[in-house]
Amino acid sequence: MELKEFISKALQDIIGGVIDAQEKIPNGFIIPNVVKNFQAIEYGISDIQSVEFEVSVIGDKKTGSEAKLSVVAAVIGGNVKGNLNQSTSNVSRLSFKIPIRFPQHKSK
């Protein structure tokens, strides 16, 4: 899976999970409408949060093709599973945060 697909799918699943939980749990329990002030933000109480990612990726350049970043699917015994063709690969770890705004639970 390419890195951009992984990030996109993960963020969609997180937001979708919040919406799904809000539909199943009484109003106001998941991401309630909170007062935004410095103290609330200092304690991390806000609808804006950072999603932290730490992934291992393969930078793969095959002969005659462009380079792509792929999420490492399996590392077994220190070896990365993959194709045996003419390619140059490097496995790296990436850590980053993406700020997102969670949907607030609407009062009925």
**9 falls in which pLDDT band (50, 70, 90)?**
very high
Tokens 């990365």 -> residue: 80
**Token representation of residue 105:** 């639970």
What pTM, to 2 d.p., does this model score?
0.63
Q: From start to end of the chain, where are the E strands?
A: 48-62, 68-71, 75-76, 79-80, 87-101
Q: Tens digit of pLDDT for each residue in 50-68?
A: 889 888 877 766 655 566 6
